[in-house]
Amino acid sequence: MSENGIIDIGGIHITQEQAQAAMQTMKAVNLDEVMIEVVTVKVRHYKEETITDDDGNPLLDGQGKPLTYRVPKTRTAHIQSMVPVDIYHKVMALNNQSLSANEMVDAMTDIVLEIWRITEPWMDRKTLIEGLDFEGIAALSERFFDRLNQNSKA
């Protein structure tokens, strides 16, 4: 531990309070208490469809290709709320940084994406941010980490 109370764990810097909080999460009496929740999420995907005139004829661009538009389709995803240790370490390290609001939103989005990919490995950042609005991503982040925060306060 350094003289300013920061602990270095494999290049990740955390405070003593954060280390104690992490230890509290490990004090479950039964492993049943550390159940992985499945979060149900409504997510949008987009399907391209051809634009037609009122008579049903496709409208074409200057090169003769049909013009298209994107139609939102909704599906229900079932995402595991498991937070791997390496992701937890990233979140703890972020708490020690002074990030702008934009940087914090980007970091939160990237962390939600990493957790999402445990269930759906094909998910990419573009699909995630088109499929969920900011409130949805923020709610997932809170949901993933709320259980850990509650355990650390116990």
Domain segments of the chain: what residues?
Answer: 6-41+76-153
pLDDT reported for residue 16: 65
Of 74, 81, 147, nearest to 115 (Cα)? 81
Predicted pLDDT at 99: 84
Q: Which residues lie closer than 8 Å to 112 by C-beta, 6 or more apart? A: 128, 137, 140, 141, 144
- Calculate mean pLDDT across residues 42-61: 95
Whether residue 89 has pLDDT greater than 90: no
